Structure 1
Amino acid sequence: MSYLKFDKEELVNLEYSLVREVLATNKTGGYLNTTLVGCNTRKYHGLFVLPVKNFDNRRYVLLSSLDETLIQHGREFNLGIHCYGKNNYEPRGHKYIVDFEFDKYPTITYRIGGILFSKSMLFLHNKEQLLIKYTLLDAHSATTLRLRPFLSFREIHTLTHANDDADRGYVTVENGASYRLYDGFPTVNIQTNKQNDYFHNPDWYYNIEYLEEKRRGFQYKEDLYTPGYFELPIKKGESVVVSVSTSPVAVKGLSGVFTREAARRISLQSYDDCLHRAAKQFIVNSGKGLKEIYSGYTWLGKGLRETLIALPGLTLFADGDTAQFEDVLESTFKIYNHQLLHGSKQVDAALWLFWVIQQYAAFTGDAQGVWLKYRTRLKAILKSFLDGGRMGVSLADNGLLWVRMNGVAMTWMNAYDKDGVPVTERSGFQVETNAFWYNAVCYMIDMETKYGSDTRFVYQLQAVKDKLDASFYNVFWNEERQHLADYVDENGQNVFTRPNQIFACSLDYSPLSEEVKGKIMEAVKRELLTERGIRTLSPKNSLYKGIYDGNQDQRDHSYHQGSTRVWLLTYYIEAMLKLYGGMSVRRASELINAFEEDIERHGIGAICELYDGDPPHNPHGAISSAVATASLLRSEYLVNKYKQTEEI
């Protein structure tokens, strides 16, 4: 029996099934994403979504959906479902669904009287090809299968509408047809592994609604183009494989391709299986030998900070894949070299690289080898901070980094309101940026002293460290609150209780005493810790937003003002283990395993981007988040390592 499984009662209840989404990727940036019952509720949903080279590799929904109809004795049973307004769903194919399961791939089973029929979908890895296998499990009469594609050919953040520019023609290919609605796009080739009859009857379906976009305050109505439909007979016990691809394929071997590809997939039989499968979906081969990390599916892109935060968890701590770790890191150097050496609007991103290298050294046990491999690059980054050549950041006389770029939020708390004003600008001395700065300085001193030869640079850094040892606590500690200030500017300390201070407790090098760390952890536990991660702001704060909902501006105002983040959890758990040792293991395991309850919510088999700060902590944001997934995998690794060695 599959670990991820839903029954008829759950599936026919659209309030239940439409808020649970399926995701499959091809490891080159393409994906399949829809709801359990196949009714698209987001503009990001589609069966065949790919990055298009001619358009800067932006992702486009090419095939929105493929509606199936079973025909017996002239009676038609349409299995598709689209929303045309409140409670107006046509056709209502979901009423025939009796089972959904996701093992190696998603499979939906339908029953219509004496007909038992299944659909399985498999997006091939490293190819622009989707396979859909239809099986007639049972039938007592001659049966015909009709397939009607709905094409959109538009960028994932936009919607399309009926227009005269769309090419309404087609080209015949083996057992199928090829379409390209607009110049510059790849073709979409729809083929079957057995002969079919194609009926070309181009038309537009108007005003299909996407409920999630309506709820989020965006445009939500779209027109979809259908070129016609395919019909073919299907016998009891027979399987028909449909291929959707950007180039015509040989149809004879499609059934074997499906079988061989499925054999290579992870069977999802546990929570851990789901985490490991999810981890591999974020790492994509983006061309020219580069491997990158998508921050999340389906609308999040790629970025330096998110890549570095997620990398160790998705590779080292997922399955010990050091080769993939190095491949992604080398690609990161090539893509983000300027940002690493000269700065960007992500002020702390370059300092995260030191943490990444520390993770690698600890994982391999080869501190010297790892240091020598990356020493030159790390040294250049530190020099750029010392020399004052980085965007928006300067080294103050007290050794701390002062960060300011007016009108720009340079930390991970980087939401903007509808007028383009940062919701949480946090200019000045930022607590997490300076915790990472201290960690980087100390790591360089330690490693260069042991394995290097640049004593002059060590002396220079030692002078900075001495200043930090004297200033960090005095600048950030707030005696009344018994925790660190979130940032300090010309007006003094901002003492909002936020999670950024956790890093001063979790990083390998910290200017704080164990006693002070303990007080910080108590404050975080008391005001920020939830069963779904760490809140971004204390509920005691007047700016706290406990529910992440509303239009874009309302959500942006709650994005870092109370919503709960999974990715922060691993640093809390790491600090727990360092401070409290064995007595924290049980609680750490509870926090990690609590997410198993959510593996069948939002994005099934995936860990989402964020949760409400208020109970019951409903899931929101991207259905599958790289940093959240990496956090849980790293946390599991740390707990298991501590159980074995009593060290992390």
Structure 2
Amino acid sequence: MSYLKFEKALMTNLQESLPKELLRTNRSGAYSCSTIVDCNIRKYHGLLVVPVPELDDDNHVLLSSLDVTVIQHGAEFNLGLHKYQGNNFSPLGHKYIREFDCDKVPTTLYRVGGVILKKEVVFQHYEDRILIRYTLVDGHSATTLRFRPFLAFRSVRQFTHENATASRDYSGVDNGIKTCMYAGYPDLYMQFSKKNEFKFCPDWYRGVEYPKEQERGYASNEDLYVPGYFEMDIKKGESIVFAAATSEIKTSGLKKLFDKEVDERAPRDNFFHCLVNAAHQFHRREKNDDRYIQAGYPWFKCRARDTFISLPGLTLSIEENDYFELVMQTAMRGYYEFMEGKPLTTHITEIEMPDVPLWAIWALQQYAKETSKEECYKKYGQFIKDVINFIRDNKHPNLDLMENGLLYTNGKDKAVTWMNSTANGRPVVPRTGYIVEFNALWYNALCFCAALAGTAGEEDAQQKLLAQAEVTKKSFVDTFLNEYGYLYDYVDGNMMDWSVRPNMIFPVAFDYSPLSQDQKKKVLEICTRELLTPKGLRSLSPKSGGYNPIYVGPQTQRDYAYHQGTAWPWLGGFYMEASLKLYKRTRLSFVERQMVGYDDEMSYHCLGTISELFDGNPPFAGRGAISFAMNVAEILRALELLEKYQY
């Protein structure tokens, strides 16, 4: 049986099938996303969702969905599915689904009487174009297909409603039409591989509802514009390819293009291959050939911290060093611009966050382990030195190196760590002063830089770095280690945060740690006892005040839960690394069991990838963004570590 295959019983049960989402992306940041029954349940869902830089830096839903109707002997069977107000679903096309398979490309098999229709979908890699192939597998009499497109032409953050401004104009193109609802938008080209008839009968479908937006406390319904429908006959064994794009294509080449795109897809026939496929979905290439890592889908952009944390797992762990180097080249240019106070020419947000340079060095450390210290020094040695000096010379606007060797950050008024939720303009978790992972990263960076200097024969520089690291090491233990054997999350003057949080796992997992073996074991033990779940580490222990593990409800309610007990798989990656480093092969079966929790996720929520976060209490439901780069990356990196310890 296929790894990602669902039978009729599940597909026709909306309670089971509606929560399962499906994401297809290309390299421009565009995507196609819906549920496995093609019923949109979020405002972010759509068949063709593209960036429109002329308008803003958001994605925009051009084509929301495409309803297909099978016509035989004058009887019409609509295979579409929409949710309308009052919990009404129409036209109930899911009841014709016989099976759904997602191993190579998403494939749905419909059966209507004697008709068996197969639908396969791909998103073109380097163009904003969705391709859908319909094949009449079986049909005992003359069959006609009718295609009705639902248009939105709006930002993913907004809704469209019936209005007189929307343009109804369209013009014919090769085997299709082009249309544009509003000024400033690109034309939408809808074309088929076969000659067809387009019937213009414009109408608005009112009150389409998105239950995920309702859950999140937002407005949740809109009206969609249908300009008309396309109609054509189809014979048994025949395939027709539909293309929706922001540019025209020669329709004679659509079938070949579809085959070519399918050939380029790697199978998602096991856990590892699903994660590799998910890793590739975060790749982004700009027109000037800059390369980025998208932080997540459907609403995240390219963020600096996420880029450096996820880069090793998304590239080095699957032997794609070349993409690591391309992204690092873009990110380094961006960080030099930041250090030199120049306008940024890269599209990386939050580059000013104080831990970004520290994570950049950590990412390069992983590169050195995958290649060699010599190779890393040759390519990135100067950048690492410049970053270390930038920090040591106190040039960062919110990162001060104090006399005790620790880094101090002001996070009272603005969230400056990965725990970045805010409510009423203030950080929910005001982590400020000496922050545990910042200083663990700093100690690790100093030691790694010293090792690189030693490799390059720079003995004076090596000794200075080691002397600095020694000062940091002593202060780290004196400042963060408490009498109960775990680490304070942050310390600011006389204020010590006693909350049991997962950030103390980093000094246990890093290659260079200021903690002794015994100290590491105690920290790991507390993390295991109070923070570990099948979906990663909780952001707060249930024994600590303010524990709020269920990420549901309106925005403010979710903000207060975001880092107050929810579980994060990427932290689980560092936890597994710490376990293997401390206990070696004796923890292999334990780590393998942890992986089962992530393997299960491949057929839940968004197929073949990992959600942003999970509830901290059973059943550990997936929440937030449907696909999150740091989570996929750290599970891939943990799988690579697991393999190294096994052999």
TM more than 0.5:
yes
Q: Given the alignment of the two structures, is residue 401 of structure 1 paired with residue 407 of structure 2, yes or no?
A: yes
Checking the alignment, whether the CA contact within 8 Å between 1:189 and 1:246 is kept in structure 2 is yes
Q: Of 430, 438, 456, which aligns to 1:433?
A: 438
- SS where residue 426 of structure 2 aligns? coil
Instruction: Return the alpha-carbon distance in structure 2 between the equivalents of residues 594 and 535 of structure 1.
Output: 14
Checking the alignment, whether the CA contact within 8 Å between 1:340 and 1:349 is kept in structure 2 is no
Deviates most, 405-414 or 444-453 = 444-453
Deviations 1:225-262 (A, max 9, x none): 11111010111221111111111111112112111211
Instruction: Return the alpha-carbon distance in structure 2 between the equivalents of residues 336 and 51 of structure 1.
Output: 25
Aligned ranges 1:94-493 → 2 under 5 Å: 94-318=94-318, 320-339=319-338, 345-364=352-371, 366-417=372-423, 419-453=424-458, 455=460, 457-458=461-462, 460-479=464-483, 481-493=484-496
Instruction: Return the alpha-carbon distance in structure 1 between the equivalents of residues 494 and 153 of structure 2.
Output: 52
- SS where residue 21 of structure 2 aligns? strand
Shift of 1:126: 0.8
Q: List gaps (5 residues or longer) in structure 2.
A: 342-349
Instruction: Return the alpha-carbon distance in structure 1 between the equivalents of residues 165 and 176 of structure 2.
Output: 23
Shift of 1:396: 1.4
- SS where residue 224 of structure 1 aligns? strand
Checking the alignment, whether the CA contact within 8 Å between 2:499 and 2:545 is kept in structure 1 is no
Checking the alignment, whether the CA contact within 8 Å between 1:137 and 1:237 is kept in structure 2 is yes
Instruction: Return the alpha-carbon distance in structure 2 between the equivalents of residues 506 and 267 of structure 1.
Output: 32
Deviations 1:485-514 (A, max 9, x none): 000012331111001011111111111110
Shift of 1:440: 0.9
- SS where residue 313 of structure 2 aligns? helix
Shift of 1:56: 4.4
Shift of 1:87: 2.6
Residue 595 (structure 1) aligns with: 598
Checking the alignment, whether the CA contact within 8 Å between 2:573 and 2:635 is kept in structure 1 is yes
Aligned ranges 1:54-93 → 2 under 5 Å: 54-93=54-93
Instruction: Return the alpha-carbon distance in structure 2 between the equivalents of residues 113 and 581 of structure 1.
Output: 59
Q: 1:373 to 1:458 in 2, by over 3 A?
A: same
Shift of 1:57: 4.5
Instruction: Return the alpha-carbon distance in structure 1 between the equivalents of residues 334 and 40 of structure 2.
Output: 34
Deviates most, 256-265 or 329-338 = 329-338
Shift of 1:428: 0.8
Question: Please, what is the CA RMSD of the aligned residues?
Answer: 1.5
- SS where residue 420 of structure 2 aligns? coil
Checking the alignment, whether the CA contact within 8 Å between 1:21 and 1:33 is kept in structure 2 is yes
Residue 522 (structure 2) aligns with: 519
Instruction: Return the alpha-carbon distance in structure 2 between the equivalents of residues 551 and 103 of structure 1.
Output: 36
Deviations 1:301-324 (A, max 9, x none): 110100011111111102x11111
Residue 555 (structure 1) aligns with: 558
- SS where residue 49 of structure 1 aligns? strand
Q: Of 585, 593, 603, which aligns to 1:582?
A: 585
Checking the alignment, whether the CA contact within 8 Å between 1:345 and 1:409 is kept in structure 2 is no
Q: Given the alignment of the two structures, is residue 631 of structure 1 paired with residue 603 of structure 2, yes or no?
A: no
Instruction: Return the alpha-carbon distance in structure 2 between the equivalents of residues 38 and 344 of structure 1.
Output: 37
Checking the alignment, whether the CA contact within 8 Å between 2:535 and 2:567 is kept in structure 1 is yes
Aligned ranges 1:16-55 → 2 under 5 Å: 16-55=16-55
Q: Given the alignment of the two structures, is residue 530 of structure 1 paired with residue 533 of structure 2, yes or no?
A: yes
Checking the alignment, whether the CA contact within 8 Å between 1:6 and 1:101 is kept in structure 2 is yes
- SS where residue 127 of structure 2 aligns? coil
Deviates most, 48-57 or 251-260 = 48-57
Letter in 2 for 1:430: I
Checking the alignment, whether the CA contact within 8 Å between 2:60 and 2:154 is kept in structure 1 is yes
Shift of 1:20: 0.3
Checking the alignment, whether the CA contact within 8 Å between 2:570 and 2:633 is kept in structure 1 is yes
Letter in 2 for 1:398: N
- SS where residue 133 of structure 2 aligns? strand
Q: 1:550 to 1:559 in 2, by over 3 A?
A: same
Checking the alignment, whether the CA contact within 8 Å between 1:341 and 1:380 is kept in structure 2 is no
Residue 508 (structure 1) aligns with: 511
Q: Given the alignment of the two structures, is residue 495 of structure 1 paired with residue 498 of structure 2, yes or no?
A: yes
Checking the alignment, whether the CA contact within 8 Å between 2:551 and 2:561 is kept in structure 1 is yes
Shift of 1:462: 3.9
Residue 347 (structure 2) aligns with: none
Shift of 1:452: 4.7
Residue 575 (structure 2) aligns with: 572
Checking the alignment, whether the CA contact within 8 Å between 1:196 and 1:230 is kept in structure 2 is yes
Letter in 2 for 1:465: A
Instruction: Return the alpha-carbon distance in structure 2 between the equivalents of residues 190 and 155 of structure 1.
Output: 20
Instruction: Return the alpha-carbon distance in structure 1 between the equivalents of residues 602 and 131 of structure 2.
Output: 25
Checking the alignment, whether the CA contact within 8 Å between 1:26 and 1:128 is kept in structure 2 is yes
Instruction: Return the alpha-carbon distance in structure 2 between the equivalents of residues 371 and 501 of structure 1.
Output: 29
Shift of 1:459: 5.2
Shift of 1:464: 2.6
Shift of 1:460: 4.5
Instruction: Return the alpha-carbon distance in structure 2 between the equivalents of residues 7 and 207 of structure 1.
Output: 30
Shift of 1:339: 4.0
Instruction: Return the alpha-carbon distance in structure 1 between the equivalents of residues 428 and 411 of structure 2.
Output: 14
Instruction: Return the alpha-carbon distance in structure 1 between the equivalents of residues 491 and 106 of structure 2.
Output: 50
Shift of 1:355: 0.9
Shift of 1:397: 1.6
Shift of 1:39: 0.5
Instruction: Return the alpha-carbon distance in structure 1 between the equivalents of residues 243 and 225 of structure 2.
Output: 19
Shift of 1:372: 2.7
Deviations 1:586-621 (A, max 9, x none): 111221233111211000111111111001111111
Checking the alignment, whether the CA contact within 8 Å between 2:412 and 2:431 is kept in structure 1 is no
Letter in 2 for 1:351: L
Checking the alignment, whether the CA contact within 8 Å between 2:81 and 2:94 is kept in structure 1 is yes
Letter in 1 for 2:635: L
Deviations 1:507-534 (A, max 9, x none): 1111111010000000000000111111
Residue 346 (structure 2) aligns with: none
- SS where residue 523 of structure 1 aligns? helix
Shift of 1:461: 3.4
Shift of 1:463: 4.1
Shift of 1:86: 3.4
- SS where residue 189 of structure 2 aligns? strand
Percent of aligned positions with the same letter in both sequences?
43
Checking the alignment, whether the CA contact within 8 Å between 2:198 and 2:231 is kept in structure 1 is yes
- SS where residue 599 of structure 1 aligns? helix
Shift of 1:341: 6.5
Checking the alignment, whether the CA contact within 8 Å between 2:309 and 2:630 is kept in structure 1 is yes
Instruction: Return the alpha-carbon distance in structure 2 between the equivalents of residues 569 and 498 of structure 1.
Output: 13
Deviates most, 244-253 or 51-60 = 51-60
- SS where residue 553 of structure 1 aligns? helix
Report the TM-score when normalising by structure 1: 0.96
